[in-house]
Structure 1
Amino acid sequence: MKNQAVNATRDRVTIRDVAQDAGVSVAAVSKVLRNAYGVSEVLRAKVEISIEKLNYRPSVAARAMRGRTQTVGVLVIELSNPFLAGVIEEANATLAESNFKALIGIGRSASSIEASMIESMIDNRMDGVLIIAPRISGKILELYARQIPIVVIAHHEPHAKTYDTVNSDDHGGAYLAVEAALQRGYRDIAMLSYDLGDSPPTIVALLREKGYLDGMKAEGLEGRIIRLPSVGADRRAAINDFLAMRDRPRAVFVWSDLDAVPLINAARMCGIRVPEDLAIIGYDNSPMAAIPLVGLTSVDQNAAALGRTAAETLLGRIDGREEARHLLIKPHVEMRGST
């Protein structure tokens, strides 16, 4: 009854209400929200239960009173993926138009590093965070998003309440890849993915696998997913093993150009003709795919649209918008010589 009275007499639940409901101090609630080191699981659970029950959101007005720094943190999984450069450049240009500076951090595919960097961005009073392909869980992102505006790219969580997502329609893009192969007359079409291990259900590869399987099913064909080693592992031997398979498919859709470009190179190095012996379709339409000597057919995510839309969405969050937005960018297939 006491909590109901608090909510009935106040427009917004405060951090003090959360502390009172959980029976802890305001400082303890703050530590949980910041995911600070040394917080016990018991304390975290008590605070999270109260946050969920009271639907606590930090005050946008209070955040504005602290003043803006005109800085935005951009957290990326790594920089070796050439596709990401186009996303970051367009996001940076869009932010610059509104006089915001972007500061880039690299998460190195480790959730602990990502969490530490987000905390540093909060501590340095950045106005928002743009995160690309995080390993961190959606539950933790929800907690951070109560403290700072967050927009995430390459993270499919359409039911998130406290942060926004901007993605390529990865399911639709994979479906288009299957259709492109079928239009070229191929029916023995496999997908080359990787060992997902304990990856969360929000990752792009999982949506692409579902899109591939749905595309095959729609044609009455049985899908076959062949897996390379997990992210971070050396995949060269596994790619050669795939090429040496006795039942190698006639065509293959590869989850990303990160593996499709090495595959097309390895095929040609060992005398397998592309596309005469093996047709290959990638995903990302990275700059390497368009090089004439590579000539890789690939699904184009529209990196510029992803970066621009994500930056615009984050600026809206910074300006006070609270309702969550989950946007999909429509992909298309760039046909080249590999099919």
Structure 2
Amino acid sequence: MAPRKPSARVTIRTVAADAGVSVAAVSKVLRNAYGVSDALRAKVQESITRLGYRPHAAARGMRGQSYTLGVILPDLTNPFFADIMAGIDAALERTEYQPLLGVGQSSPAVELELVDAMLDRQMDGLILLGPRMTIDRVAAIAERAPTVVMAHHPVGPTRFDTVNDDDQLGARLIVQHLAGMGYRSIVYFSQDLQFNESQVTYHREIGYRAAMTEAGLGRYISVVMAEQAPREVRTLVRQLLQGRPRPEAIFCWTDFIAFEALSVARELGLSVPDDVAIVGYDNTRYCDLAQNALTSIDQSGQLLGLQAARLLVERIKGREEAEHLVITPRLVVRASTVRKNAVSTGN
């Protein structure tokens, strides 16, 4: 059988011929240029729709813009990232820009490979979510292309924009709530990363330690770290809950970890929150499920994603001064921290 010939690509010239206008006129419509009449725009758009014309991204990139944005996530397991992508999509809905996704596998080497691949394909800018690479590496990337970094607090001036929630405040709200409900031995379950003072987990630890001290609970301060691998998380949670004395509450740095903690507690026959209270961070949609009923910090992932995409488009359009947005978090209290017949101490 003879190989199937690919169908001829519809080009801007094809559209111009079908609409009975010049190539320059079609180009103006595609660029949304000033001075194009409604009648001309309608005629060209009709031909574009009928012919199924799609601009050639690589060619557009060679002319200056490809209208594609690279988004690099650490992994696909954390449900919070879906909220962020929803915000990015919402921000770009009425623009020509399209996000293309890469997964860094929480590896600096993989992240750098993805960055190179995206920029080789003429992507107009990058959104990096919780990158594992060093800040110096991120700064070097920002020299090559407009860049917005999420879940990384800036240290000193930068050439890139950042979008975060106030992680120290979020941790304070959790400890204040738990202390007010009468819990004393509150463990902070963090992520095992190479130390970097820009990390959100570090900022949450600062807030946790400060709030514990302010509540007169300094002697109960305890920080446990684990990689995000479910097996390691479950092992460490089990050790915590089978240890003596058992902590009264566990503050997890993300909902994804808190769900694992809930599961282990119930496997051990413990009551949540009567035997141990569990708190998450992100307020993802699964917190509301009855079997979870997880108290969590809402940092509005959709708003964070929307703001990141907005800042990136502004950068692409020429803004040079760095902006660092910080969203105010709020605590959403559910059954995982409220004991039956509990009375708040008011602390």
Smaller-chain TM-score bracket:
0.7 to 0.9
Match of 2:106 in 1: 109
Query: 1:264, 1:294 within 8 Å by CA — same for their partners in 2?
Result: yes
Deviations 1:180-238, CA, capped at 9 Å, x for gaps = 11222223322222433x24222211111111001111122214224243344722222
How far 1:69 sits from its partner (Å)? 1.0
Gaps of 5+ in 1: 1-63
Match of 2:168 in 1: 171
1:288 paired residue among 286, 289, 296: 286
SS in 2 for 1:166: strand
Query: 1:228, 1:239 within 8 Å by CA — same for their partners in 2?
Result: no
SS in 1 for 2:144: coil
1:142 paired residue among 133, 136, 139: 139
2:205 paired residue among 209, 212, 229: 209
Match of 2:309 in 1: 311
Moved more, 206-215 or 217-226: 217-226
Match of 1:25 in 2: none
Divergent runs of 4+, >6 A? none
Paired amino acid for 1:278: V
Match of 1:192 in 2: 189
CA 1:221/1:172 → structure 2, altered by over 3 Å: closer, same or farther? same
1:259 paired residue among 238, 257, 260: 257
Match of 1:124 in 2: 121
Paired amino acid for 2:79: P
CA 1:228/1:158 → structure 2, altered by over 3 Å: closer, same or farther? closer
CA 1:106/1:72 → structure 2, altered by over 3 Å: closer, same or farther? same
Query: 1:94, 1:311 within 8 Å by CA — same for their partners in 2?
Result: yes
Query: 2:297, 2:329 within 8 Å by CA — same for their partners in 1?
Result: yes
Matches of 1:250 and 1:216, distance apart in 2: 14
Paired amino acid for 1:125: Q
1:155 paired residue among 149, 152, 155: 152
SS in 2 for 1:314: helix
Match of 1:91 in 2: 88
Match of 2:35 in 1: none
How far 1:126 sits from its partner (Å)? 1.0
Match of 1:328 in 2: 326
How far 1:65 sits from its partner (Å)? 9.5
Query: 2:212, 2:221 within 8 Å by CA — same for their partners in 1?
Result: no
1:75 paired residue among 67, 72, 77: 72
Matches of 1:65 and 1:163, distance apart in 2: 24
Query: 2:186, 2:222 within 8 Å by CA — same for their partners in 1?
Result: no
Query: 1:158, 1:165 within 8 Å by CA — same for their partners in 2?
Result: no
Paired amino acid for 1:321: R
Query: 1:142, 1:160 within 8 Å by CA — same for their partners in 2?
Result: no
Match of 1:34 in 2: none
SS in 1 for 2:246: coil
SS in 2 for 1:130: strand
Matches of 1:72 and 1:231, distance apart in 2: 27
| Identical positions, percent | 37
Matches of 1:233 and 1:267, distance apart in 2: 14
Within the alignment, does 1:249 sit opposite 2:247 as a pair? yes
Paired amino acid for 1:119: D
How far 1:66 sits from its partner (Å)? 4.4
Query: 2:230, 2:260 within 8 Å by CA — same for their partners in 1?
Result: no
Match of 2:236 in 1: 238
Query: 1:81, 1:258 within 8 Å by CA — same for their partners in 2?
Result: yes
Matches of 2:148 and 2:191, distance apart in 1: 26
Paired residue total: 275
Paired amino acid for 1:220: G
User: Over aligned residue pairs, what C-alpha RMSD do you find?
Assistant: 1.7
SS in 2 for 1:72: strand
Query: 1:193, 1:225 within 8 Å by CA — same for their partners in 2?
Result: no
Paired amino acid for 1:221: L
Matches of 2:155 and 2:305, distance apart in 1: 18
Query: 2:185, 2:247 within 8 Å by CA — same for their partners in 1?
Result: yes
Matches of 2:152 and 2:202, distance apart in 1: 11
Q: What TM-score comes out, normalization by structure 1 length? A: 0.77
Match of 1:276 in 2: 274
Structure with greater Cα Rg: 2
Paired amino acid for 2:274: E
